[in-house]
Amino acid sequence: MDGFRIRGAWSYGLQFLRGRLIWHILILLVLGILAVYALPLAVGESFGSAPATPLNGQYGVGTMPAGGVAAVLVIAVGYVLQSGSYFASWRLGLDRNSGPAGAIGFGLLAALLTMTLCVLLVLGTGFVAGSMASGGAWLLGVLIFLLPLAILFAMFFTVFAALFATAAALALVLAMVFGAATGNIGLAASLVGGSGMITVVFLVMSVVLLWLAARFSCVTSVTAERRSFNMFAAIGESWRLTLEDQWVILRYLALIAFALGLILLGFGTAAGVALSDYFQGAALHRGGPLEMIAGIALGLPFALLTVLVPAGIYRELEQSAATAEVFA
C-alpha cells in the first residue's frame, strides 16, 4: 500500500480547482470576500448617523454602527458568507454533478450549521470554564474552554488552524531559545501575559491544534462530497482516513503554514502602512482603491488555498485507500 504522499495531496488539490476554476474564484471572491467587506458599510449606512467604529476592533474590515446587536449581526452574517463560500467551493469541486447554485445553497446551510455548533459550544464551555475558574481551578477552566474550540477550528478552518498553530509554536520556541541565549528567561512568558505556566499550556495547545487539524482535515470534504449535514459521521470518517498517515499530514500542514506565514510576512512588509490601514478598516472607510486591491490580492489566494489543501488531502487519502483495497 502506498502511503500518503505530500506531492500527491498537492497535485489532487490543484486538480480539485481545475476545470471549474472560474466558478471557484467567483464564489470565493464575490460571496466570501467582496460581500463580507461590503456588509459593514451597508449596515452602517442603514443606521444613518450612528457612530461608526471598525468591525472586530483592530483587525476588522470596514465600519459598523455602534451597538451590540448590529455588531453581532454583521459578524454572524459575515461568518456565514465566508464559510458558505468555502463549503460551496468544496461541494462544487468534489462533486462534478453539482451546479453553482446548488453548491452555494448547500454552502450557506452548512455554514449556518457550523455557526450554530460554534455558538452552542462557546456558551456551554464558557459557562463550565467560568464555574471552574471561580472555584480556583482556572487552568482546568482554560483547557475546558480552549480544547472544544480548537476541535471546531481544526475541523472547519484547517489551513487557518495550521497557520495559527505553527506561527504560535515557532514564536514561543524561538523566544525560549533567544531568551535562554541572552539570559532573558521570561521572554517567552512575556508574549502570553508573563506566566510560565500559560506559556507551556499555550505551546502544548498549539501542537495539539496542529495535530487536530491533521486528524480532522477531511471533515469538510466528506460533508461537501456527500452533501450531508451529519457532522458526527464526517468526523468519524476523517478520523478513520487520517489514522495511519496523521504525522505525514501534520508535516504537510506545517509546511504549508510555514510557507504561507513567510508569504504573509513578506506581503505585509511590502505593503507597509497601506496594508495596515486595510486591516484596520480605514481603507474601506476612505474607499482607498489601492488598499482594497491589496486586500483582495491577499484574500483570494488565501481562500483558494483554504479549500485546495483539505480537498487534496482527502483525495490523496481516498486514492491510497482504494489502492490498498485493490491489493488486499
pLDDT tens for each residue of 1-49: 468 899 999 999 999 998 799 999 999 999 998 888 888 777 765 544 4
Q: Return the ∠ at Cα 303 (arms to 300 and 306), rounded to 5°.
A: 155
Residue 235 has pLDDT above 70, yes or no: yes
The model's pTM: 0.81
Residue 52 has pLDDT above 50, yes or no: no
Q: For the residues 211-215, what does the mean pLDDT come to?
A: 96
Structure confidence by residue, pLDDT tens digits, 263-294 = 877 766 665 544 444 444 444 444 456 666 76
- How far apart (Å, rounded) are the C-alpha atoms in residues 253 and 207? 12
When the pLDDT of each residue in the chain is averaged and rounded to a whole number, the result is 79
So where are the chain's domains?
A: 6-326
Residue 300 has pLDDT above 80, yes or no: yes
Q: For the residues 318-325, what does the mean pLDDT come to?
A: 70
Residue 266: the pLDDT is 75
pLDDT band at 237 (very low <50, low <70, confident <90, very high): very high
Give me the residue label for grid cell 474564484.
25
Q: For the residues 149-160, what does the mean pLDDT come to?
A: 90
Which range has the worst mean pLDDT, 121-125, 294-298, 300-304, 310-314? 294-298
- How far apart (Å, rounded) are the C-alpha atoms in residues 246 and 263? 26
Give me the residue label for grid cell 459593514.
40
Residue 94 has pLDDT above 90, yes or no: yes
Residue 311 has pLDDT above 50, yes or no: yes
Q: Which residues contact 230 (CB under 8 A, 6 or more apart)?
A: none
Residue 324: the pLDDT is 54
Which range has the worst mean pLDDT, 11-15, 150-154, 172-176, 309-313? 172-176
SS3 call for 186: coil
- How far apart (Å, rounded) are the C-alpha atoms in residues 300 and 121? 30
Q: Which residues contact 256 (CB under 8 A, 6 or more apart)?
A: 159, 162, 305, 309
Using alpha carbons, select from 43, 57, 32, 72 the residue that is nearest to residue 281.
57
pLDDT band at 144 (very low <50, low <70, confident <90, very high): confident
Give me the residue label for grid cell 477550528.
153
Residue 117 has pLDDT above 80, yes or no: yes
Residue 99: the pLDDT is 92
**189 CB-side CA count, 13 A:** 9
67 — phi, psi (to 5°)?
125, 130
Residue 171: the pLDDT is 80
Neighbours of 53 (CB within 10 A): 17
Tell me what percent of the residues of the chain surpass a pLDDT of 90. 39
Residue 189: the pLDDT is 55
